[in-house]
Chain A
Amino acid sequence: MNILVCVKRVPDPGTKIELTADSRAVDTSKLGFTISPHEECAVEEAVQMIEEHGGEGTVLTLGLPESDAQLRDALAVGMERGILIETDGSDWDPGQTAKAIAAAIEEDQTRHGPFDLLMFGNESADSGGFQVGIRVANALDLPCITGVKSMEMEDGQLVCKREYGDGWEVYKIPLPAVVTVKEGLNLPRHPSLRGTMKAKKKKIEFVQPEKVSAQLVMNRLRHPAETSKEVEILGEGAAAAPKVIELLRKLEVL
C-alpha cells in the first residue's frame, strides 16, 4: 500500500501572533516551524497503515527549500521518501498549490508507480483554506472524503468515519482515493533518535513547479477583537486553599 501524505510548513507561534509591518503575513522571525496538527495525524496514520499492510510512505510539500526540515520530521517517524515542490516564498493560493501538487503526483507516479492513497490535513494551521485536498482529488479525478477522524482497511476498501453532530458518518471507498484528516485521528509519535538518524539518509526529491495565475489574493491579516481576559491569582501554595474552596462552592462544583 503506497501512501502519499501532503504536509505544509507552518509557523509554530505562542498565544500572541505577531504580524509583519504590512500585515500581510505572520512575523516568523522569532518562530519555529512545524507541520499542521492535522497533517501530523495524517503522517502517523500512514505510518501505521504501512506497518500493518506494507508498502511505502511518501511525504510531499510545496514551499521554500527549508521546508525539507518538515519532510525530514516525517521521514524520521517512518515515511520513506520526500518530494519538495520548491517555491520562492511568494504567495500560492489553494488553486495554484493544488495544480502544482497534482502535477508533481502525476509525474512521480510515472516513475514510481501509482499511490493507493493520498492524504491531506483537513485544513492548514496558518491559512486554513480547506481546499487543497479537494482540488487535488478533483484534478486527479479521485474520490475524496474530508474531515476524517477514523480510518481502516476492510476488504481492500477504505472505511472512513467523520464526526456528524453527536454521531458519525461512515464511508467506504475504493482506492485510490483522497482523504483529508483531522486532529484526533490518532496520537502522533515523536521521532526516535534512531529514526532521526535514519531520516538523514533518506532521499528528498526537489521539484520545480509551474505556477499558474492566482485566483485568490490575500490582502491583509487582522487580529480578531480581543476578548478581555482577566486573571485573578487567588494566592500561592496552601494559603490559596480557602479561596479555591470558596470559588468551587460558588461554581457549585462542591
Chain B
Amino acid sequence: MSELPKHAHAVIIGAGIVGNSVACHLAKLGWKDLVLIEKGPLPNTGGSTGHASNFIFPVDHSKEMTQVTLDSLKQFKDLGVFRESGGIELARSEERMQELRRRMASSKAWGIDSSLISPNEVKKLFPWVDPDVILGGFYTPSAGVVDSLRAGTLMREKAIELDALKVFTNTEITDIAVKQGRVSGISTTRGEISTEIVVICCGVWSPRIARMAGASISLSPVVHQMIDVGPIAEFEDCTEEIEYPVLRDMDKFMYERQVGRNLEIGSYAHRPIIVRPDDIPSIEASKLSPTEMPFTKDDFDPQLEDAMELLPEMLDKDEVEIQYSINGLLSLTPDGEPIIGETAEVKGLWSCAAIWIKEAPGFGRMIAEWMTDGISEIDNHGVDISRLYEYARTENFVESRAEEAFNKTYGIVHPNEQWGMSRGLRVSPFYAREKDLNAEFYETAGWERPYWYNSNQKLLEEFSDRMPDRTQEWDARWWSPIIKAEHLAMRERAAMFDLTAFAVFDIKGPGALDYVQKMAVNQMDVRVGRSVYTPLLNDRANIKTDLTIMRLGDDFFRVVTGGSDGSRDKKWFSDHLPDDHSASLADMTSAVCTIGLWGPRSREIIQSLTKTDMSHEGFPFGSVQEIVLDRIRVHALRISYVGDLGWEIHIPMEYGQFVWDLLWEAGQPLGLIPSGIGVYGTTGRLEKGYRLYGAELDADHNPLEAGLARPKVKSQNFIGKEAYLEAREKEPDAIMCTLTVEDHKSASGELRFMLGGEPIVTLSDGKRIVDRHGRSSYVTSAGEGPSLGKYILMAYLPPEYVNNDNALAVEYFSELFPVRVAVAGGGSLFDPDNERMLK
C-alpha cells in the first residue's frame, strides 16, 4: 500500500457512510489533498453502517431533519442504491392513531405524500399482518431501503475519481496534535500527517477520537437490538431484497423489514443499554464486528411475542429460525440531534457524527458546504455542535440523556416534553423563592426556569372568563391555564420574571465598536446608555441570530441573547473577533442574573426602590442605566418582550435574591405577581408578534421576510450586507404573519389548540401553501393571546395569501380549522402603537 502523505488539506477519519459522504462532497466542492483514514477494512469497516437496517422513512416532525432526509434520498437515488418499497407506521392504540394524524400534518407541512390507511389496507400492502391487532397505519409510498455500504463505496470512488482523495485502511488514529488551539496534524499507526483540518466521522467512537485533541463530541453509544429470521416461506418467490413495505410497529417500538427471503426485526423497546466508547471491543477481539455486540436475549423476548402477534401466519411456525441476532450499537445525543460543525474547543476540528443512514449524504453535503463557505443550504442551528454548553459535553450528562432518549426513538414525544434526567444543573439566585412559590420548572440550556407558578392558581378565578381552556389532553399537556392568568395579571398590574438563562457577553477594547458594527445589522454607533435589538446575518443575509446589544461605554458593549442560543452565539462572536486583539469577549453569563419587571404598575414598584428618575422622560424606552435599588447597584434596561411598560434588571449574581426580595416586597401592595416563561416566551410575545430565533427566525429566511428590516441600512459594513442590500431590492417571497384561529371546534365538538409545526393550508381544499422557493407555510409558534381573547399562530405566507382573499386554515390532527391573517409583516396585534410600552 502507498505511503501516507506528509501533508493533507484535510483528514477525514472514518470510512462509514458519513466519512465517505463528507469526502465526496468536499471533493465536489473543489477540495484537493484529502485523506480518508479508516482503522478497519472496506467496504464494511466494522462501524454502525455495516449492520444498519438501511430503511428510510422521510417524514419527521422537524423541518430541517426532513429536508436533510429528502436531500439524502435524492442522493441515494442518484447513486442507484435506493429501492422504493414504501413504509407503514402502524398504530395499535388510539393514542398512536392520534400521533399518526399528527404525522400526517408534518408530511403535509414538508410536502411528502402520505396517507392514513385502515387495517385492511395495511393487509393489502403486507398480506401477513393480522388486521385485528392494529387500528391503522400511516403509509408513505416513497419510503424505501438503501444499500449503505455500496453508497459509501460509490461516494468514496467519486472523490478518488475527482483526484481529491487518498484512502488508507487498517490505519488507526493514535493522536491529534493541536497548536495554539488549532489542529496541526494527526498521528496514526502508519505515520504522521500534518493538516489544519480534521473531520471526525467515527460514529460511536467519535468521543474517543475528539478527546485526543482535548475536544468533546457529545454522543453515547447505545444498543439497539435486532434479529434476522427465516427462511420466510412467503418470500420464497421474491427476487429483490425488498418487495414489501417496511413496517414500523410503533406502539411496540419495533420494526419489521424484508431482507430477501428473511425478515429483520429490530427493537427500541428494551432497557437502555449504554456502552462507553472505550468499552467497545477491537475488531480482532470481536466475534462479529465491534458494533455488533453479543445479543442479550432476555431483553428481546417480549419483542418476539409482539412480532408473532403482528405477523402470526408468517412467524409462528417451527421452520422460521432466528439466524442472526445482535446488540447493534448506534449513537444517541443529549437532545436527539446530530453533532455537526467545528468543535468549540479546537479550531479546524470538525464533527460529523450521530447520524442515521437516512441522513448521511445530506449531512455530508451540509458540513462540506459549511467547511467551504461557512454556510449550508439547509439550516444547521439545531445540529450545530456549538449549541452544546460545557455541561452538555460531560460523559455523565450525555449518558443520562442518551439513556432517556433511547425509548423516545419510537415514542410519542410531545413538542413541549421536558427531560427528566440531569435536571437542576443551573439555577438562578431566585430558585429558592421560586420553589417556595411552587413554580413548575422547565429547562432551557441547563437552567431551571419557572414556566408558571402554581401559587398563582388563585388568579384563575379572577381571569377565567377571558378565554376558553384547553380541554383536550394533548393540547393541555405541558401547559397550564395559570399562564393565561399570569398574563392578564401582568397586563393589569405587574409581573416579575426570572430571565437568568440569558447568555451575556461583554465586548471591550478599542476595536469594540468596529467589531459589533461588523456583527450586527442595525446601527451600533449609538450613544452610551442605549440598547439596540438587532438581527445578525450570515453572508447570504439569512438570519444567524437575533439579540440585544447595550452600549455601556465608548469601548464597551454588552450582548444579551437567549439561553437556547447562547452557546452557538458565543462561538459565532468568538470566531469573528478581530485578529489584532483590539476587541475581546468575556462570557458574563455566570456573573449576571436578570429579573424582568413588566406591567402598568412596574414603574411605581421600581421607583419606590431607587432615587433615579424612572419616568418616561428620565428613563426613555431603549435606554440602559446603572441604578441603585435600595443598596444594590444594578443595570436597568427599558425594553420589553411582552409588550408592557417595564425593565430588565441585570444584577450581579450574588445580590440576586436580595433584589428579588426587594421587588417582591415593594410590589405586593401593587398586586405584583411572579410570572413564568409561558407568558414571556409565548402569550406576551405572540400578542406583540415578536419573533423567536429557531421558530420564526432561521437561516431559511432573511430579515425582510421576517419583518425585521428597518427603513434604512447603515453605511458601515456588516456580515451579510451585500446580500441583504440585494434582497431589499426585491419584494419578499414570504411574509411573516400573525394569524388568529377563527374557530376551534373540531368535528367531535371539542375545542382544539395547535402547538406549532402544523401546516397552513387553503380552507376550501386543504392544499399545502408553498412560496416561490418551495418553502411551505407552517405554524412557527402558537399560543393564547389572553388580552385579545384570541388564539395566535405565526407563519410565513407567500405575499398573495396575506390579504385574506384566500380563506386559510390550519391542519391539526387531520382536521381543518379556519384562520385569518391579523398582521402581515412586522407589527403587533395587541397594542399596535406600543402605547403601553412607550409611556
Contact = CB atoms under 8 A, between A and B. Distances in A.
The answer to whether A and B interact is yes
B496 to A, nearest CB: 55
A196 B304 CA distance: 8
Given A12-B287, A15-B284, A194-B320, A32 B42 contact: no
A17 B283 CA distance: 11
B301 A189 contact: no
B286 interface: yes
B377 interface: no
Interface in A53-83: 69, 72
A178 to B, nearest CB: 30
A191 interface: yes
Nearest to B318: A192
B435 interface: no
A196 B322 contact: yes
B652 to A, nearest CB: 51
Contacts of B283: 14
A32 B295 contact: yes
A193 B321 CA distance: 6
Contacts of A189: 321
B287 to A, nearest CB: 5
A31 interface: yes
A33 B294 contact: yes
A100 B284 CA distance: 36
Interface in B424-455: none
Contacts of B458: none
Contact of A31 (B42, B294, B317, B319): B294
Interface SS of B by simple majority: loop
A190 interface: yes
A229 to B, nearest CB: 11
B1 A233 contact: yes
A16 B281 CA distance: 10
A236 B156 CA distance: 12
B285 A193 contact: no
Contact of A197 (B169, B280, B294, B305): B305
A193 B284 contact: no
A162 B690 CA distance: 86
Contacts of A33: 294
Given A30-B279, A197-B308, A14 B286 contact: yes
B323 A190 contact: yes
A114 interface: no
Interface in B115-138: none
A31 B327 CA distance: 12
Interface string A12-56: 111111100000000001111100000000000000000000000
A202 interface: no
B149 interface: no
Nearest to A191: B322
Contacts of A195: 318
A203 interface: no
B574 to A, nearest CB: 40
| Most chain B beta carbons < 10 A, residue from A13, A193, A196 | A193
A192 B323 contact: no
B153 to A, nearest CB: 8
Contact of B285 (A30, A72, A197): A30
B294 A194 contact: no
A32 to B, nearest CB: 2
B315 interface: yes
Given A72-B297, A193-B320, A16 B308 contact: no
Given A194-B317, A196-B301, A17 B285 contact: yes
A211 interface: no
A10 B308 CA distance: 31
A30 B308 contact: no
A13 B282 contact: no
A243 interface: no
Given A32-B287, A192-B320, A236 B308 contact: no
A219 B318 CA distance: 46
A200 interface: yes
B285 A16 contact: yes
Given A16-B284, A197-B304, A192 B294 contact: no
Contacts of B295: 32
A24 B294 CA distance: 23
Contacts of A72: 297
B307 interface: yes
A12 B42 contact: no
B321 A18 contact: no
A25 to B, nearest CB: 15
B297 A31 contact: no
| Interface range on chain A (Cβ under 8 Å from partner) | 20 to 34
B154 to A, nearest CB: 11
Interface in B272-308: 279-287, 293-295, 297-298, 301, 304-305, 307-308
Contacts of B305: 197
Residue among B283, B284, B287 having the largest count of chain A Cβ atoms under 10 Å? B287
Nearest to B314: A193
A193 B42 contact: no
Contacts of A17: 285
B4 to A, nearest CB: 15
B568 to A, nearest CB: 37
Nearest to B311: A193
Contacts of A12: 287, 294
**Most chain B Cβ neighbours within 10 Å, of A32, A33, A72, A200:** A32
B316 interface: yes
Contacts of B320: 192-194
B704 to A, nearest CB: 51
Nearest to A69: B297
Given A18-B285, A236-B42, A194 B279 contact: no
Contacts of B301: 196-197, 200
Contact of A14 (B42, B281, B321, B322): B281
B319 A192 contact: yes
A193 B230 CA distance: 10
Interface in B749-791: none
B400 to A, nearest CB: 23
A14 B285 contact: yes
A236 B168 CA distance: 12
B795 interface: no
B307 A193 contact: yes
B229 interface: yes
A185 to B, nearest CB: 19
B321 A191 contact: yes
B724 to A, nearest CB: 48
Interface in A206-254: 231, 233, 236
B285 A190 contact: no
Contacts of A29: 279
A193 B308 contact: yes
B113 to A, nearest CB: 34
B318 A194 contact: yes
Taking each of B229, B316, B318, which has the highest tally of chain A beta carbons within 10 Å of its own beta carbon?
Answer: B318
Contacts of B279: 29-30
Contacts of A231: 170
Pick the most buried of A16, A31, A190: most chain B CB atoms within 10 A of its CB: A190
Contacts of B315: 193-194
A12 B286 CA distance: 9
A190 B321 contact: yes
A175 B283 CA distance: 47
A12 B321 CA distance: 20
28 contacts: A13-B285, A13-B287, A14-B284, A14-B285, A16-B282, A30-B293, A31-B281, A31-B287, A31-B294, A32-B293, A32-B294, A69-B298, A189-B321, A190-B322, A190-B323, A191-B322, A192-B317, A192-B319, A192-B320, A193-B304, A193-B307, A193-B308, A194-B315, A196-B297, A197-B304, A197-B308, A233-B1, A236-B42
Closest 4 CB pairs of A and B: A32-B294, A16-B284, A190-B321, A30-B281
Interface of B: 1, 42, 169-170, 229, 279-287, 293-295, 297-298, 301, 304-305, 307-308, 315-323
Given A194-B318, A196-B304, 4 more contacts: A32-B295, A193-B229, A196-B297, A233-B1
